[in-house]
Structure 1
C-alpha cells in the first residue's frame, strides 16, 4: 500500500492490535471472520467499488457493512470492518488487502500470546522456499489459480502435522485468495509482515485518566527512544494507578517518575 492507503492501514492496524491485546479470547475465529468478510466483498465488484469510493459518505458504507455482516460476525470483528470502511484508500484493492492483513495480524497476535511468533515467522519463510523448490507443487498451485480454495486445501493438508497450526493456517490463507501474485511470494509477504510485527515492541499502558493524542504521541516517542524501535501501546484507564501512569514492556515495568528519569538520561547522553 502507498500514500493514503498506507496511512489508513497504519491507523486501523494500531486500533485493532490495541483492541486485541486487551481481549485475546477467540482470536483464531476472529481472523477467519475477517478473511470471510474480505472474500465476500471481493466476490462483488459493485460492493468493492461502493466500500472503497472516497466520494461516498462513511455513514453509507458503514450501514452497508452492518446490513451485510452485522449478524454474521462478532462485534469485535464488525468494529474492525467498520474502521476499514471509514478510511480513505488509494486503490480499490487496498480495502481487501487491509481486511486480510487484519486477519493475518489477528493470527499473529495469537502466535505472540502462545510465545511462537518467531517460530511462525520462520515457518512461513520456509514454506515459501518449499513452494519455490518444488516444481510439482508450484505447478499444482499455479494450475489452480482459478480455484484458490482448493489451493488452500492442498497446501494445508501438506503442512498439517509438519508445522505449527498457525503457520499452516496463514500459508493456506496466503494461497487461498485469488491474486496475480505467485503463491510462494504471497506466503513470503505474510512472513515479512510477521517479521515487522516481531520487531515492534508492545507496551501495556495504564493511566489514571485518559491520555490525549499529544500525550500518547509524547509517550510513544519516549518509549521508542528507550527501545530503539516503534512501541505499540495498549492504553487502559485505571483510576487506582499510583502516580497516574504505569507502563509494562515485556518484563520492564515503569511508572511516570522512572520513565521521566530514563528520558532525561538518554537526552543527556545524546547531547
Structure 2
C-alpha cells in the first residue's frame, strides 16, 4: 500500500509495536481482528474522521476506540488501534489501510513461526495464478450481484484442506480489502510476506519448467544482483519459445527467444 507523509512514520511505528505484541499471540486471530477494524473504519467515514482528527485529544480518541471495539476483536488488535489513533495520518483513509497492512503482517508472522513463510508465499502466488487463469472464477469473485459472504464461502471451499490456514485467511481478506482486484491484493500480500522476511519477490517467465538446480542457481544470481534473498515465482509460458524473463520490482530482465525475435522484426521493419 502506498502511504505518504506522516502516515509512513505512523505505519512504521505500528509495525514495530505489532512485532512486540505478537509473541504468545495467535497471529491469524490478531490479523482477523485488524481486518475487521479496517473494514468498519473503511466504511464508517464519520468515525474514521473523529479518530484521525488532530484537534481531538489522543487519550479521548483512544478511549473512544476501546469503547466501540473493546471485546469485539482481539485485545492485541484493540491496543494497536488505540495506539494508531494517537498518531498523525496524512489522510483519514490511511488509518484503515494501515490496519489491513498490519493484519497481513500478523498473518504472515503466524506462518513464519511454523517455518511456513515460503509455503505461504507460494500458495498466495498459486491462487492468484488460478484466479487469473479461470475467467469463470474471476467473474464470480468480481460479480457485484454476489454477496461478500457468498464469495468468502466460495474461496474457503476452494482452499479448505489444500492450503495453510494463513493462505485461506489472506485469500478471503483479498475479497474485502482496499485493493482493486483479488489478484492485485494477493500480489501485494505476497510482497508484504517477502518484506517481513527481508526478501525480494521475482516473477520468472520461462518456456518450460525450471529444474531444481536451475531454480537454485537463478536464486543465487538474483540474490547477488539485488543484495537480498529472492523468493522466485515461476510462470511457464510456452509462447516465449526459450530463454527467461525476470521481473523484480520495477526491473525487467528479458532474455527470451520471443523477445529477441520481436527485436529482429522491428529492426527489419525500420
TM-score for the superposition, normalised by structure 1: 0.68
Structure 1 residue 73: deviation in Å?
Answer: 3.2
Query: What does the per-residue CA deviation read over 1:165-191, in whole Å, with 9 as the maximum and x for residues that have no partner?
Result: 2111111111133x4611110111111
Counterparts of residues 46-57 of structure 1 (less than 5 Å): 46-57=46-57
Give the secondary structure class of the aligned counterpart of 2:85: helix
CA-atom RMSD in angstroms: 2.0
Q: Tell me how far 1:12 sits from its aligned partner.
A: 0.5
Q: 1:116 offset after TM fit, Å? A: 0.1
What secondary structure sits across from 1:125 in the alignment?
A: helix
Which string of whole-angstrom CA distances, capped at 9 and with x for unpartnered residues, describes residues 50-107 of structure 1? 1122333212211110111123234322211111111111122210011112111111
Query: Would the alpha carbon gap of residues 148 and 53 (structure 1) be closer, same or farther in structure 2, given more than 3 Å must change?
Result: farther
Q: Distance in 2 between matches of 1:180 and 1:16?
A: 22
Give distance in 1, aligned partners of 2:75 and 2:191.
Answer: 29
The residue aligned with 2:138 is 138
Match of 2:173 in 1: 173
**In the alignment, which residue of structure 1 is the partner of 2:190?**
191
Matched, 1:92 2:77: no
8 Å contact from structure 2 (residues 179, 185) kept in 1: no
Per the alignment, residue 6 of structure 1 pairs with: 8
The within-5 A match list for 1:85-234 is: 85-144=85-144, 147-177=147-177, 179=178, 181-199=180-198
Aligned to 2:248: none
Structure 1 residues 145 and 24: CA distance shift in structure 2, 3 A: farther
Measured in 1, the distance between the counterparts of 2:9 and 2:65 equals 22
> Distance between the aligned counterparts of 2:47 and 2:149, measured in 1?
21
**Which secondary structure state, in structure 2, belongs to the residue aligned with residue 199 of structure 1?**
coil
- Post-superposition offset of 1:121: 1.1
Unpaired runs of at least 5, structure 1:
201-227, 230-271
Aligned residue number for residue 20 of structure 2 = 18
- What is the distance in 2 between the residues matched to 1:164 and 1:28? 11
